[in-house]
Amino acid sequence: MIKDIIDKQVFELRKLWLNKRQLLFQVLNLAMIVFSALMIWKGLMVVTKSESPVVVVLSGSMEPAFQRGDILFLDNSKHHVGVGDVVVFKIKDRDIPIVHRILKVHTRPDNITFELLTKGDNNRVDDRGLYAPGQLWLRREDILGKAVGTLRYVGMVTIALNDYPVLKYVLVGFMGLFVLT
């Protein structure tokens, strides 16, 4: 049964290879689909002025507000952030962004530069222990964006793809085959 399906797909691909124009058409079609997704992502990046406009919550440090597997939509367009805002920030030289709430804001006399202290709702202590050695405060440049929207549980797919990278290739492979044939 599966052998038949595979044979059929192989045959379709071979037929496609013979007709170069049709092959080009299908390849471009596939590329357009992939680029549509990428362009939506880039568009979101431009509009929200954030490097990473959609993130997945990986830990339970913000429960009960946000659970592991939730998707957060970020907006980085406003310069000023206040106490109580949920922000996503990256610590220098570390890859993984962190979602926590702002606890303290110390503004300089110029009213533009400020320093931040954050804490996870579900943590006992503030984030000074997480910051780089010697760092006591976060700056505005460390912030990727303020959380402005959320979708429950949808991020579980991303977590699964991260934990089992082979799933990524399997998924893309299936999609590619589906479109080409």
Site size toward another protein (CB under 8 A) is 23
Residue in 77, 123, 82 with CA at minimum distance from that of residue 100: 123
Given 11, 153, 174, 178, the residue binding another protein (CB under 8 A): 11
Given 2, 20, 21, 79, the residue binding another protein (CB under 8 A): 21
Known active-site residue 36: no
Known active-site residue 59: no
Smallest distance, another protein to C-beta of residue 125, A: 32
| 172 makes contact with another protein (CB under 8 A) | no
| 139 makes contact with another protein (CB under 8 A) | no
Known active-site residue 52: no
Q: Catalytic pick from 50, 70, 100, 142?
A: 100
Interface of this chain with another protein, residues 35 to 64, rule: CB under 8 A: 35-36, 38-39, 42-43, 45-47, 49, 51
- In angstroms, the Cα distances linking 44 to 38, 70, 76, 88, 119 are 10, 18, 11, 16, 27
Smallest distance, another protein to C-beta of residue 146, A: 16
Q: Contact residues for another protein (CB under 8 A)? A: 3-4, 7, 11, 15, 21, 24-25, 28-29, 31-32, 35-36, 38-39, 42-43, 45-47, 49, 51
